[in-house]
Chain A
Amino acid sequence: MNLEQANRRLCMRLALIALGMFGFGFALVPFYGQICAALGVNSLTQRDSVSNTQIDASRTVTIELDSNTHDLPWRFRPLVNHLQVHPGELATVEYEIVNQRAAPVTGQAVPSYGPQFAGEYFKKLECFCFTQQTLAPGETRRMPVTFVVDPKLPRDVNTITVSYTFFEVAGRGGKS
């Protein structure tokens, strides 16, 4: 094999490495999803399972409800602004959305928690954030969130703020 052939062969191999690494960048996307699922992080919009339903009546936690929309023509609000629950107690709150656009719109709600670490103790059994919501023009919809506050919540946490933000799912145009 002469030098030119050797050079060309090595060049091809190195170019393949580069191409493979470009693919690897994209392979990180499903890989990241798998890791998050395996470690149980980033499961904001998935149903939680609750094993311990022992109610701890000795303490009360205030749940504050907040709602936002991001570039979405929806009116979105909780029916109550805050409530008191005992850890371990099953509770349900309702939210209302109104589609103010003259076209069907699909949105996805993403929750966030304050303090941040309280998220892992706020167990959602039913939530409108588990699926995308498609609203017809002018439609009003009431949706529940059923949750349990884990009794293992650190004792110094007296208030949890639950904030939902609805994002428009681009390109769906109301088709679900």
Chain B
Amino acid sequence: MSAVIDHDHAHGHHDHHGGYGGIMRWITTTNHKDIGTLYLWFSFLMFGVGGIMAVVIRAELFSPGLQFVNPDFFNQLTTMHGLIMIFGAIMPAFVGFANWQIPMMIGAPDMAFARLNNWSFWLLPFAATLLALSFLMPGGAPGVGWTMYAPLTVQMGMGMDFTIFAVHLLGMSSILGAINIITTILNLRAPGMTLLRMPLFVWTWLITAYLLLAVMPVLAGAVTMTLTDRHFGTTFFNAAGGGDPVLYQHIFWFFGHPEVYVVALPAFGVISQVIPAFSRKPLFGYASMVYATSAIAILSFIVWAHHMYTTGIPVSGQLFFMYATILIAVPTGVKVFNWVATMWKGSLSFETPMLFALGFLFMFTLGGFTGLVLALVPVDIQLQDTYYVVAHFHYVMVAGALFAAFAGIYFWLPKWTGKMYDETLGKIHFWLTLVFLNMIFFVQHFLGLAGMPRRIPDYPLMFETWNKISSLGAFGMGLAQLLFLYIVVKCIRSGAPAPQKPWEGADSLEWTHLPTPVPYHSFETPPVLH
């Protein structure tokens, strides 16, 4: 532990928070740890809001017929649930991880553009406010689905304009964040931290940031075209003026499919830190992991039309997108097998982060398999817009991204707060989440195969049993996340002090070179690497 630089003794000046106290500290902060914390709490708040919407949706679907909400409001809920969970909960959560971890993992004092970093975060609450305000507009929030397909978007009320501007702000926040992350990683690494010595979490974020830079502007363009179609007489998507609604789908999914990997790659990065730490072995096939991540990112740009098999694209197009999609299974398989090989003959222990990582490994792979099923044109034509698709992407987003986020929180919480969380409660949280998650989504595969369409508040009697099970799972899942909040708050307020390296197998710089809790300013002088 001689390598630990204990700033508290080296300097006397550094634990003050920029001269402000209270709320102004958080509004004016340029510290990557503060901003990381803001991102994570914002993300949890949005997770709660999106979760409440999901619970209302599942309450409505508990029985056939209409009980609680009218179909219009139901559509608004499904739309907002999707937008909030993706842009408000999952993406900010991983940007929060990036803020906390990237400077510490590469031995940098902070992010490259600290003030820009502050702005990237503070755009988000305004975007969320715009989204929330859309519910109060005449006609309510847009009920068009999170994909915001034309021509329905052109016919929506004023709530659609609020949503469009919210998407602009969210996109701007992501682009600024991506520029910051790339510059930090490329320019601020400690001497000796070569690209191929970076922890895999940093690698996945470097590639993710490039993906964001490439696709968020395209989404901004798509919603801008919608806006001008609505108000300024352009006809990008209006057939009467020579436009084409299908064009919207092409532009949207050119963004939309890489977006899936924007969410998934940082999750892969977290898992690639957690599994070696609890296997007490270095990550198996480090270089192949880097290449596989890059391959996934590149392939993600040429598969977008697999979301559009039923729009009448030519058979040759369907075949191309089907083969390209199936090809993605190869680098993804490389990653899954590398994680399994990392555990092979390791001395495993099963603390909460590892449990979530294993949950991720099993269920994300399952979500990947159903993705392969949906990639097949003849099957997809049957399953398009059914609950099978809903089940598929929730296995990827919830059992994939959310589980990775939980794994990361439990993994780094001792480092961030200096205190241990309650291991018993953490394990209970894992098992409750695992059971309820499968209760919600596994049965939705059956519903989809039987033909139940998505985004519809009512259904025939024959679907009732599985819908009841799914809804009960959703209620349980919601309650289980209150336990998560309790665990985090309990850890921060009264957790037992954590050692510098609570996880035996963890080996990146924040564990080996920094005390616990990490000082407010870390690596003001770069660490010495061997």
Residues of A within 8 A of B (CB): 3, 6-7, 10-11, 14-15, 17-26, 28-29, 32, 36, 39, 41-42, 70, 107-108, 110, 116, 167-171
B215 proximal to A (CB < 8 A): yes
Q: How far is the CA of A168 from the CA of B250 in the complex (A)?
A: 25
Interface stretch of the complex, out of B158-166, B218-226, B435-443, B458-466: B218-226
Among B182, B218, B241, point to the contact of A14 (Cβ < 8 A): B182
Prevailing SS type, chain B contact patch: helix
Sample of 25 A–B contacts (CB below 8 Å):
A3-B187, A7-B187, A10-B182, A10-B187, A15-B179, A17-B213, A19-B217, A21-B216, A22-B217, A22-B218, A23-B221, A24-B217, A24-B218, A25-B218, A25-B251, A26-B221, A29-B236, A32-B247, A36-B244, A42-B244, A42-B246, A110-B240, A167-B238, A170-B235, A171-B233
List of A residues within 8 angstroms of B219 by Cβ: 25
A25 close to B222 (CB less than 8 A): yes
* A14 B183 Cβ-Cβ under 8 A: yes
Interface residues in chain B, defined as those with a beta carbon under 8 Å from any beta carbon in chain A: 112-113, 175, 178-179, 182-183, 186-188, 213-222, 225, 233, 235-236, 238-242, 244, 246-247, 250-251, 254, 312-314
Q: Which of B113, B233, B241, B250 contacts A32 (CB 8 A)?
A: B250
CB distance from B95 to the nearest CB of A (A): 16
Residues of B within 8 A of A25 (CB): 217-222, 225, 251, 254
* Minimal beta-carbon separation of A125 from chain B (angstroms): 21
In the docked arrangement, what's the CA distance between A33 and B429, Å?
Answer: 52
Q: How many angstroms from the CA of A110 to the CA of B235 in the assembled complex?
A: 14
Number of A-B residue pairs having CB atoms within 8 Å of each other in the complex: 94
Determine if B112 and A21 form an interchain contact, defined as CB atoms under 8 angstroms apart.
Answer: no
Q: Which 8 A-B pairs have the closest CB atoms?
A: A25-B221, A167-B240, A22-B217, A21-B217, A25-B218, A171-B233, A14-B179, A108-B240
Instruction: List the B residue with the shortest CB-CB distance to A165.
Output: B239
A168 touches B183 (CB 8 A): no
Contacts of B235 in A (CB 8 A): 170
- In the complex, how many angstroms separate the beta carbon of B220 from the nearest chain A beta carbon? 6
Instruction: Tell me, in angstroms, the Cα distance from A42 to B239 when the chains sit together.
Output: 11
A18 touches B175 (CB 8 A): yes
CB-defined contacts of B113 to chain A, threshold 8 Å: 7, 11
The answer to whether A7 touches B183 (Cβ under 8 A) is: yes
Nearest A residue to B179 via CB reads A14
Task: Determine whether the beta carbon of B183 is less than 8 Å from that of A10.
Answer: yes
Contact B241 A170, beta carbon cutoff 8 Å: yes
Most buried by B among A25, A36, A171: A25
Q: How far, in angstroms, from A14 to B385 measured CA to CA in the complex?
A: 37
Q: Assess whether A107 is in contact with B240, with CB atoms less than 8 Å apart.
A: yes
State in angstroms the CA–CA spacing of A116 and B216 once bound together.
34
Shortest C-beta distance, A7 to chain B (Å), equals 5
* Alpha-carbon distance between A20 and B218 when the two chains are bound, in angstroms: 10
Residues of B within 8 A of A3 (CB): 187-188
List, in ascending order, chain B residues with CB within 8 A of A170's CB: 233, 235, 238, 240-241
Residue of B with least CB distance to A167: B240
Inter-subunit contact A7/B217 (CB<8 Å): no
